[in-house]
Structure 1
């Protein structure tokens, strides 16, 4: 009996985009946990300052039994909107050891970006981009020296003033 070999492509299992996304969530959990240990932080605002004028703000927005809602941003605001920019809203799943970027800007949820009824592949692609951005940002912050040792409690950010539209 002659044994037949399969080509390499047939022997190596392919990872799907959804599996890749779940892997990103797990990697981002490890990065964020190493960087700021947010699961142990009380609700409130925290600043990581290195003295370079580019402080990082971590807001613990809500705490639930198995999740923590966070916002990660630089401690500066967009001059036009008055909102923090860049800004990533995160959901940390303590039990699953995952961190998901839910959206990156105030008022820019996935529905605002890709529509109400996008095909599933587009939703996964959008989430891949946001969570890849988060992973690279967390790596950059760690390389700069941000971390638990540079994190301290901060006063809450004042509410952004309402944007006044010109009367026509």
Structure 2
């Protein structure tokens, strides 16, 4: 009996931060499998499956180890005039992580969680955003979106309303 209890206490418990890092890794796997964004040049792309709800993928910037992306539908929110839903994504190719940094129409992270949120609030907020991203990527894959359907959008401006970065995001 003592051996069973000793074995049970050695099992590590995954905390919220560990869960978030695992979520980033899973989102990276899904995003790379779906769109291979590290191979795309900066610009705008559309994925259409014929359902009238085209997906737009903007490659905002490509760096040596990082890609900055925006993923949205071609649907405009009536209140803000911005595409909705929308997710800003930072893809870390070297670390195999993909982080949804913002998912707010017309709102910045400061408006959502405050200027100096407690660590627990920040992690909870990032868990929600990245869970949303993972579910959205699953849905897109089920619907048939993917790299084979991506078409460059000629003469389409890259959406420039990128949320301001935090000092911790640099």
Say whether 1:76 aligns with 2:75: yes
Between the aligned partners of 1:11 and 1:158, the Cα distance in structure 2 is: 50
Equivalenced residues, count: 159
Between the aligned partners of 1:3 and 1:53, the Cα distance in structure 2 is: 62
What corresponds to 1:91 in structure 2?
A: 90
What corresponds to 2:30 in structure 1?
A: 31
What value does the CA root-mean-square deviation take over the aligned residues?
A: 2.0
CA contact (8 A) 2:45 2:153 kept: yes
What stretches of structure 2 of length at least 5 have no aligned partner?
161-170
Change over 3 Å in CA distance of 1:159–1:72 after alignment to 2: closer
- Bigger radius of gyration: 1
Change over 3 Å in CA distance of 1:120–1:44 after alignment to 2: same
Residue deviations 1:127-163 (CA, integer Å, cap 9, x gap): 0000000000000000000001111001325879xxx
CA contact (8 A) 2:82 2:106 kept: no
Equivalent residues in 2 for 1:4-15 (5 A)?
Answer: 4-6=3-5, 10-15=9-14
What corresponds to 1:48 in structure 2?
A: 47
Give SS of 1:14's match: coil
Give SS of 1:73's match: strand
- TM-score normalised over the length of structure 1: 0.87
Stretch moving more, 31-40 or 72-81: 72-81
- Please state how far the C-alpha of 1:9 moved relative to its aligned partner: 5.3
CA contact (8 A) 1:43 1:63 kept: yes
- Please state how far the C-alpha of 1:11 moved relative to its aligned partner: 3.9
Give SS of 1:6's match: helix
- Please state how far the C-alpha of 1:115 moved relative to its aligned partner: 0.4
Give SS of 2:4's match: coil
- TM-score normalised over the length of structure 2: 0.86
What stretches of structure 1 of length at least 5 have no aligned partner?
161-168
CA contact (8 A) 1:102 1:109 kept: no
Give SS of 2:127's match: helix
Between the aligned partners of 2:114 and 2:41, the Cα distance in structure 1 is: 35
Say whether 1:100 aligns with 2:137: no
What corresponds to 2:165 in structure 1?
A: none
* Runs of 4+ in structure 1 over 6 Å off: none
